[in-house]
Amino acid sequence: MASTVVLQSIRAFYNSGATRSYAFRKQQLKKLRQALLQHEEEIYKALYADLKKSREEAYLTELGLMLAEIRIMLKNLRQWMKPQPVATNLFNFASSSTIYRDPLGVVLVIAPWNFPLQLALMAAAGAIAGGNCVVIKPSELAPATAVLLQKIITAIFPPEYVYVAQGAGAEVVTEMMQSFRFDHIFFTGSPGVGGAIYALAAQKLVPVTLELGGKNPAIVEADADIDIAAKRIAVGKYTNSGQVCIAPDYVLVHASVKERLLKALTKAIKNFYGDDPVNSYDYGKIINRKRFDTLINYLRQGNIVAGGKYKADALFLEPTIMDGVSLESDLMKEEIFGPVLPVIPFETMEEALSVIAINPDPLALYLFTASSKKEQRWISTVPFGGGCINNTLVHFSNPALPFGGLGNSGMGSYHGEYSFKLFTRPKAVLKSPAWFDLSIKYPSFRGKLKMIKMILR
């Protein structure tokens, strides 16, 4: 837990101006990258201990994404930091206008447990690139990674610059936010907790970024390539045992191809994880017993088409497909966040839209179709954070795309340059010369209305 004394020392370090130069920011990003490479084996071990992630999945979804993000920042940071000249209107003739990007100050990053390394450090790297000081609160539900994060950060950064606050999430965050005014709070997690963070931040008018979850639909039109759709939905759903905020939460499939899709999904699962997924190198475990019990309860809320076996002592639940699910069930009202995939048929787009409307503003939407006309209709009709056409998850991996939600799925976006902009603010400056000084701008304004109207058009 970060005491008030620690937090005040972080404020003092930021106020010293030490974090603002390009050279300093670049050096810190390089130190972070080098530390991640040096601790690569420990990272794999920690992620396996917490979530049973394979080395390859750990690199693909955590370490590799972090290294790519830092690489993009190092390549572009100087350009991002440059003051940006903008146009000046006629009223301010002879003046010049410039936008500077200022750091926000001291930023609090509250990380979740499902991608405990990447989702802590992705935002922290953006804050570092923006010239801020950072307090990172890792999830206590992924303890091995939390301990390793503290080890890495403590070794490369002084505590008055980047600090890791350990402890029970709600207690630690509440105490810090009540005793200290952060300049920005970045939270990744559930909508319920996000709402509580938002309310607490509002008491001190602290701006927030909320990266939340939601029920993300995968829509399979009749003209989709069913085999491709099945493979990409399956890998998107069952990566990290479904514990992914942008995983397809449920499938809406045109009734004419439902049976084909169910067979193709079942085949894809077997091809990916074998006949005994509990022993699969590529398949993980549920984070804890509370989450496991919730997922097991979902199995009673429809027909199990494939999977459904589980081992409580190993926190293991097979990749599962279900149909015959009521839209009134908990399975269709709550974010599943696990390896259970309801498949719901539809006949018309309007019918499918009515299902999505039950849980509006999903964080992600995935559409499978060969029709560009259908593609544009879906994109223009449904509000969602981001998504893919004929794929799942991979929009997250492109740092040129902003990542974030809307409404119930969050506010604000980051990744790449969007992270830099998130953790800085635009400072507008207009510079006027002394040699040009129109009398029209000074009192008395009597009789000047016509001229004022002319130059303000």
**pLDDT tens digits along 146-201:** 999 999 999 999 999 999 999 887 889 999 999 999 999 999 999 999 999 999 99
In a domain, 447, yes or no: no
> Same domain for 187 and 228?
no
Do residues 242 and 345 share a domain? Answer: yes
> Is the domain of 195 the same as that of 261?
no
- 67 and 170 share a domain? yes
195 lies in the same domain as 234: no
Q: 137 lies in a domain? A: yes
Instruction: Flag whether 450 is in a domain.
Output: no
115 and 12 co-located in one domain: yes
| Inter-residue contact 235 to 211 (CB < 8 Å) | no
Residue 2 has pLDDT above 80, yes or no: no
Would you say residue 116 has pLDDT above 70?
yes
- Domain-located, residue 452: no
CB–CB of 193/390 below 8 Å?
no
Amino acid type, 445: F
Q: Determine the 3-state secondary structure of 232 from DSSP.
A: helix
Looking at the structure, tell me whether residues 324 and 281 fall in a common domain.
yes
Please check whether residues 150 and 173 belong to one and the same domain: yes
Count, residues in the chain: 457
Q: Of 85, 128, 123, 83, give the one whose Cα is nearest residue 103.
A: 128
Q: Do the domain assignments include residue 45? A: yes
Residue 443: inside a domain, yes or no? no
| Structure confidence at residue 168 (pLDDT) | 82
Contacts of 259 (CB under 8 A, 6+ apart): none
Q: Indicate if 308 and 171 belong to the same structural domain.
A: no
As a whole number, mean pLDDT of residues 80-97 equals 95
Catalytic residue among 57, 160, 245, 417: 245
Whether residues 203 and 229 fall in one domain: no
In terms of domains, do 84 and 203 share one? yes
Q: Residues 151, 284: one domain?
A: no
160 is catalytic: no
> What DSSP character marks residue 62?
I
* Domain of residue 298, CATH code: 3.40.309.10
The total number of structural domains in the chain stands at 2
Please state, as a whole number, how many other Cβ atoms lie within 10 Å of the Cβ of residue 350: 9
pLDDT in tens, 339-398: 999 999 999 999 999 999 999 999 999 999 999 999 999 999 999 999 999 999 999 999
Q: What are phi and psi of 53, to 5 degrees?
A: -80, 135
Residue 1 binned pLDDT confidence (cut-offs 50, 70, 90): low
Whole-number Å distance between alpha carbons of 320 and 304: 7
Q: Is residue 165 part of a domain?
A: yes
Catalytic residue among 57, 69, 160, 211: 211
pLDDT digits (tens, 9 = 90+) for 282-311: 999 999 999 999 999 999 999 999 999 999
Within a domain: 76 = yes
pTM across the whole model: 0.95
Which domain CATH number covers 186? 3.40.605.10
What would the two tokens of residue 408 be?
A: 């119930």
The DSSP annotation for 40-51 comes to HHHHHHHHHHHH
Is residue 388 annotated as part of the catalytic site, yes or no? no
Domain around 256 = 217-404
